[in-house]
Structure 1
Amino acid sequence: MKNICFFYPSKNVGGAQLLFVRLAIELSLIEGLNIKVIDYSEGFLTKQLANTPNVSLIPFVNGKAKIDFETILITPLSYIADIEYLVDFNIQEVKLLFWAIHPDNLKDSLYAKGRKIFINKAQLRHYIVTLSEKGNIIYMDGANFYSVVKELDINFKPFYLPIPVDIKEQSKVRIKKDKVLNLGWLGRISYDKINSLYKIIDEVRFFSELKKFNIHLHIIGDGEEKEDLITYLKKSNVSYTLAGTLMNQYLDNYIIENIDLGVAMGTSCIEFASRKIPVFLIDFSHDRFPNDYKYNWLFETEDYTLGSNVNSISERKNSFEQLIKQFSDDNKLGEKCYLYTLNNHYIKNVLNSLLLHCEDLVACDRNEWKMFQKKINPILYKISYKLYRKLKFKM
């Protein structure tokens, strides 16, 4: 194993993008290992890794990239159907590693671009199970695994590779100084998270009015739903700050100086916890949340799950009011979240797990891969999608 290549072309800033940046940087420090990244010339990964030794860019131009060397290719599970259109590679030289990093990854792949009309999910079960059992599909957490199980009505033993984070001993620790509770949201303001934000705004408004308790909401992040969010905030009449996108030391300073309690999903939860800020999890939903929705502290989660679909079957323990009371009564919550993160998400341990997995990884069987692609990309879909790409990229 001399080469590891990441495929996640993106011009946005988000948890998934930061996830691949962190892994690329950490892997680049290993002697004898060459790290490649497929991205736009002006992409987020390109900009973040531009000055990182031993990391080289493979340009993603007109919706296509080329790999002409032996490597392990790591990419989100959402690309499992489209990877052959997006990357020119030899299936016997490139070992594919699909990482389920969002519970909707498989749905995005099965139903995107009109594919839903043509495919038969029942025919895909065998291939998804086979790829998982051979290690070519791995899962970030239980939410990702069980979403695949539910979608295809299958079951098997998953390999978990949780979110990695570089945890440093904190020289500065947040000390609550005033009577206002500063609640921080961290994450993109996107279509799959906007209802989560609406729910938190509703909770803040109801609790503040009911208990005469001052809560100031800090929203760290940006995205396509920002204007709708601002409209909702103004109607809700809550106290808030829109901090925008913050990274690296700017994010560190803002959290330490301004946030008493965090709420997030995915990678963003770890950003609070690694700084010893107590954080509770919230799920995602494409619809409004139920009124009686409950939450878990980070350290109460199972199977590394850092957020799932609001309709999934999972045990959530605490109402918003209970969270606030526990926060007021227990000054060790931040330490508990930090220790959970250290024990389950420390990047050195996650990296070792990934490298051991890669040592045993084998290339997909050529015939099985071709058959799988025929099932997931039926001929009518294939023709229409190729036409779409020709028109889009004028190829």
Structure 2
Amino acid sequence: MLNEINKLKAQGYNSICFWLPALNIGGGNYAFVQMINSIVKNSDINIYYCDFKDGYATYLLKNNKKVKIIEYKENDLVFPLKEKTIIITNSTRPIQITKMNPNNKIILWHYETTLCAWNIVFLDDETKSFFKLVNETKCMTYIDWGAKNSIEKQLNISLAETPYIPITLEPHNKIELANTNLINKNEINICWLSRLALEKVQALYYLIENISNYKTNKKINFHIIGDGIKAKEVQEFVKIYRNINFIFTSTLLLDDMREYLIKNVDLLFCMGASVLEGAALKIPSVGLLLDDYGKKINSEYAFWLFDSSDYCTAIMQYQTNEFNGKLTKIKDMLDLIYNNSENKQIYGNKCYEHYIKYHSSYYEASKNLLKVANNSLYVIHI
């Protein structure tokens, strides 16, 4: 990482400002904070974070004296830093960043797999010119292949290659408690771990339909960990599936959630960082298909984390034909785990090894982010 920092300094950049004003608890601002912690631990470059006064990142960084918090005010029309700065933000935030030093670089991280309303992000229909600039300057990076491909499909463009900045979860001590045995040999214990949100529930619904069609004499316990605006809709949806015992826990605190997984779950189905939560505990973990908001998913397939490609923890339904990973029928996944009790440990270990190799280091993620900053040609001219 120090090599990348020195390259930035050689270009005249002694400051980095992360820009993601947000009051909600989200994966993006959490990931930025973890990368910041890694950067300040391994370098002496100046780090700023622009956030709301009571923002989530501000709370997480309150004890980090090496990071200077800039309060975000929606009516401010001038970027607060006068010095030449690297600005790192999400791909949908450029409209928030206004007049600034003309030598600043903006680096964009796109972490949405679902489609974005670019016509709303850019009020004057600047989308085409924006992505032309992104391509020419290589200033945008992506969370995985699915996120990049979704833009390419939506806008019918080809995007330049940059290092991926994947979803990351650093190892924790709960791994010591990992349960390699089936919870109950006479039961099936599977789990959904995610927010019950508009862009996610169709993945849950197609999973439930597949589980309901699974032929077994065992009792099926379907654990649902999470809450959200679609919670009541989900509770109504599951009433017709009388062959499944649904257990709703709502949202659990992090340590409580991990202990719940250890004690109650043989097989985890979800997307994003939730897949890594299971893999980090050596629980067989599966990435699901997503689709447009509210659109029904008709599929029998998902993918083991270790069968993924290019850091994907979920893909859109329309991406399955181009996905370089391996898809497996959900029925076959259940057969593997419940027809041979040793497979819980075998497949859990395979998921864990994939997680460790590709998704366990914020140091590597932040180093790749700095590499994008070094290689980008995007300098603001206002």
TM-score by length of 2: 0.82
Match of 2:27 in 1: 15
- Name the SS for the 1:138 alignment partner: strand
- Name the SS for the 1:10 alignment partner: coil
Q: Matches of 1:219 and 1:17 in 2, distance apart?
A: 25
1:128 to 131, 134, 138: 134
Match of 1:339 in 2: 353
Q: Matches of 1:168 and 1:279 in 2, distance apart?
A: 17
Match of 2:218 in 1: 213
1:146 to 146, 149, 160: 149
Q: Matches of 2:377 and 2:189 in 1, distance apart?
A: 49
Give 1:24-35 correspondences, 5 Å limit: 24-35=36-47
1:219-266 deviation line (CA, Å, top 9, x unaligned) = 222222222222223343432333333344333323222222111212
Provide closer, same or farther for how the CA distance between residues 300 and 355 of structure 1 changes in structure 2, counting only shifts above 3 A: same
- Name the SS for the 1:332 alignment partner: helix
Match of 1:188 in 2: 195
1:306-336 deviation line (CA, Å, top 9, x unaligned) = 2122122345521211111122332311111
Provide closer, same or farther for how the CA distance between residues 29 and 322 of structure 1 changes in structure 2, counting only shifts above 3 A: same
- Name the SS for the 1:96 alignment partner: strand
1:5 to 10, 13, 17: 17
Q: Matches of 1:248 and 1:225 in 2, distance apart?
A: 21
2:262 to 248, 256, 263: 256
Decide whether the 8 Å contact of 2:103 with 2:379 is kept in 1: no
Match of 1:203 in 2: 210
**Greater share of residues in helix:** 1
Provide closer, same or farther for how the CA distance between residues 361 and 293 of structure 1 changes in structure 2, counting only shifts above 3 A: same
1:127-150 deviation line (CA, Å, top 9, x unaligned) = 231132xxx111111111212222
1:277 to 274, 283, 295: 283
Provide closer, same or farther for how the CA distance between residues 24 and 258 of structure 1 changes in structure 2, counting only shifts above 3 A: farther
Unaligned runs of 5+ in 1: 371-395
| Percent of residue pairs bearing the same amino acid type | 22
Unaligned runs of 5+ in 2: 1-12
2:228 to 218, 223, 230: 223
- Name the SS for the 1:97 alignment partner: strand
- Name the SS for the 2:34 alignment partner: helix
Decide whether the 8 Å contact of 2:107 with 2:372 is kept in 1: no
Shift in Å at residue 76 of structure 1?
1.5
Alignment of 1:96 with 2:114, yes or no, is no
Decide whether the 8 Å contact of 1:164 with 1:346 is kept in 2: yes
Shift in Å at residue 156 of structure 1?
4.4
2:66 to 33, 54, 77: 54
Considering only aligned residues, what root-mean-square deviation do their CA atoms show, in Å? 2.7
Provide closer, same or farther for how the CA distance between residues 206 and 288 of structure 1 changes in structure 2, counting only shifts above 3 A: farther
2:119 to 111, 114, 118: 111
Shift in Å at residue 121 of structure 1?
5.5
Match of 1:384 in 2: none
Provide closer, same or farther for how the CA distance between residues 104 and 318 of structure 1 changes in structure 2, counting only shifts above 3 A: closer
Provide closer, same or farther for how the CA distance between residues 241 and 317 of structure 1 changes in structure 2, counting only shifts above 3 A: same
Provide closer, same or farther for how the CA distance between residues 92 and 268 of structure 1 changes in structure 2, counting only shifts above 3 A: farther
Match of 2:369 in 1: 354
Q: Matches of 1:111 and 1:212 in 2, distance apart?
A: 51
- Name the SS for the 1:98 alignment partner: strand
Query: Letter of the aligned partner of 2:301 in structure 1?
Result: K
1:23-47 deviation line (CA, Å, top 9, x unaligned) = 2333332341333222222322222
Q: Matches of 1:337 and 1:97 in 2, distance apart?
A: 31
Q: Matches of 2:217 and 2:151 in 1, distance apart?
A: 44
Provide closer, same or farther for how the CA distance between residues 124 and 261 of structure 1 changes in structure 2, counting only shifts above 3 A: same
Provide closer, same or farther for how the CA distance between residues 289 and 124 of structure 1 changes in structure 2, counting only shifts above 3 A: same
1:167 to 168, 171, 183: 171
219-228 vs 236-245, which moves further: 236-245
1:47-100 deviation line (CA, Å, top 9, x unaligned) = 2332334233222234658431433222111224x2xxx234415343211011
1:317 to 311, 327, 335: 327
Decide whether the 8 Å contact of 1:67 with 1:88 is kept in 2: no
Match of 1:392 in 2: none
Decide whether the 8 Å contact of 2:137 with 2:377 is kept in 1: no
Q: Matches of 1:52 and 1:249 in 2, distance apart?
A: 23
Shift in Å at residue 269 of structure 1?
1.4
1:263-282 deviation line (CA, Å, top 9, x unaligned) = 12122211211221111111
Match of 2:4 in 1: none
Query: Letter of the aligned partner of 2:330 in structure 1?
Result: F
Q: Matches of 2:28 and 2:131 in 1, distance apart?
A: 26
1:348-373 deviation line (CA, Å, top 9, x unaligned) = 3223322333344454251xxx6xxx
